[in-house]
Amino acid sequence: MNGVATLTGLMRMGKRVQLVGPLVVLLAVVLLSGCQLALPQSTLSPAGDVAQNQQNLFVFIFWIAVVIFVLVQGFLIIAILKYRARQGREQDIPPQVHGNTPLEIGWTIAPALIVIVITIPTVAGIGATYDAPDSYANDPTLTIEVVGHQWWWEYRYLDEDGDLDFVTANELHIPVDTVINLRLASNDVIHSFSVPRLAGARDVVPGRINRMWLNATETGVYAGQCKEFCGDSHALMRTVAFARERADYEEWAANERRPAVMRTEAMEAGWTVFEENACKGCHTIEGATEEEYELAIGVTGPNLTHFGSRVTIAANTLHKGPADMTMGAFFEDVPTDPDFMQRDPAYENLRNWLNNAPDVKPGTEMPDLDLSDQQLDDLVFFLESLK
């Protein structure tokens, strides 16, 4: 009987050992899946001082948590091994510590101290995200008003006197090594603005001006996203920030200050489609004269004065590259100048958006225009000429 029992025990142990291998592999896969740092919205790959400070705070708290985890699990393992039930001693009770005043004071004070150690830098860090610290007093600054709409972002650049300089949408262009002061407001519901690699999120609330600051310490293209559920297409309310060298930024800004290009004869057919389908009632095109783009002064949708120079469509729901290319691939390893990005000569994504916007972005106020192929060609050519 003892031999049979021993054999049975060995077989059970063998089955357990067989399970260990797959479990170790599964655990390794789960752990390694979190090791990718080069993700578009990864907070673990900061490219600005605000994001770096937040990363530093995360690392500080993480290691505190690691120490606590090791201590707790260590004491747990010791207790399991040292005080486990043994044959013939099942009724033994380990020494009790109830009423041990020093121990009870210790494990009451220790958590309180840990909370204090975590709270002080956290509160200080949150406060430092509203306005740039005094150490940045000599850095160049730029103020931008950010207005959240369902489901797109409006960017209103201010000049040194605080007056409106120019307006664009969905693509945030900033110079590197510059303090960017953002003034956040909402036109409808609560949104949350975030470009994780540059700075954390900040709520955008109707009837209230919120603020935050950020900077970029290196050139690049940084993805952002609304982080507050705001309706049907919340997940498609994206943005992208282009951090550029100062000279490149100034060249871009100078172009944004100019009125839209003069209408040419080739653009007339597209302008007719734009006008007859009431597009000008929702969008602004700032012409050199009031008559050039008659009454194209709508503010329901994004400003289209320089739409042709942008590389994304519908708040980064689509891009202007080949239709079979993912958004991540489109922005991967590209120079910061959008003019060099790969574009689709057939404009398939733009055609899909213009033909049936609600199908691309549910809930959008832009209607299904039901255009013919020729009207689509004309409208695409007109919009892409606005550079």
pLDDT in tens, 205-238: 999 999 999 999 999 899 999 999 999 999 999 9
Predicted local distance difference test score (pLDDT) of residue 43: 80
Global pTM value: 0.83
What average pLDDT does the segment 298-315 reach?
A: 90
Predicted local distance difference test score (pLDDT) of residue 210: 95
Predicted local distance difference test score (pLDDT) of residue 369: 84
Predicted local distance difference test score (pLDDT) of residue 10: 45
Predicted local distance difference test score (pLDDT) of residue 27: 72
pLDDT > 90? residue 140 = yes
What average pLDDT does the segment 340-354 reach?
A: 84
CB of 152 within 8 A of CB of 360?
no
266 against 17, higher pLDDT? 266
Mean pLDDT score of the chain, rounded to an integer? 86
pLDDT in tens, 234-291: 999 999 999 999 999 999 999 999 998 888 899 999 999 998 888 888 899 988 777 7
pLDDT > 60? residue 304 = yes
Mind spelling out the 3-state secondary structure of the chain?
Answer: CHHHHHHHHHHHHHHHHHHHHHHHHHHHHHHHCCCCCCCCCCCCCCCCHHHHHHHHHHHHHHHHHHHHHHHHHHHHHHHHHHCCCCCCCCCCCCCCCCCCHHHHHHHHHHHHHHHHHHHHHHHHHHHCCCCCCHHHCCCCEEEEEEEEECCEEEEEEECCCCCEEEEEECEEEEECCCEEEEEEEECCCCEEEEECCCEEEEEECECCCEEEEECCCCCEEEEEECCCCCCCCHHHCEEEEEEECHHHHHHHHHHHHCCCCCCCHHHHHHHHHHHHCCHHHCCECCCCCCCCCCCCECCCCCCCCCHHHCCEECCCCEECCCCCCCHHHHHCCCCCCHHHCCCCCCCHHHHHHHHCHHHHCCCCCCCCCCCCHHHHHHHHHHHHCCC
pLDDT > 70? residue 132 = yes
22 against 284, higher pLDDT? 284
Predicted local distance difference test score (pLDDT) of residue 102: 85
pLDDT in tens, 53-101: 999 999 999 999 999 999 999 989 988 888 777 777 767 777 777 778 8
pLDDT > 90? residue 28 = no
Delineate the domains of the chain, giving CATH numbers in brackets. 42-64+102-244 (2.60.40.420), 265-384 (2.60.40.420)
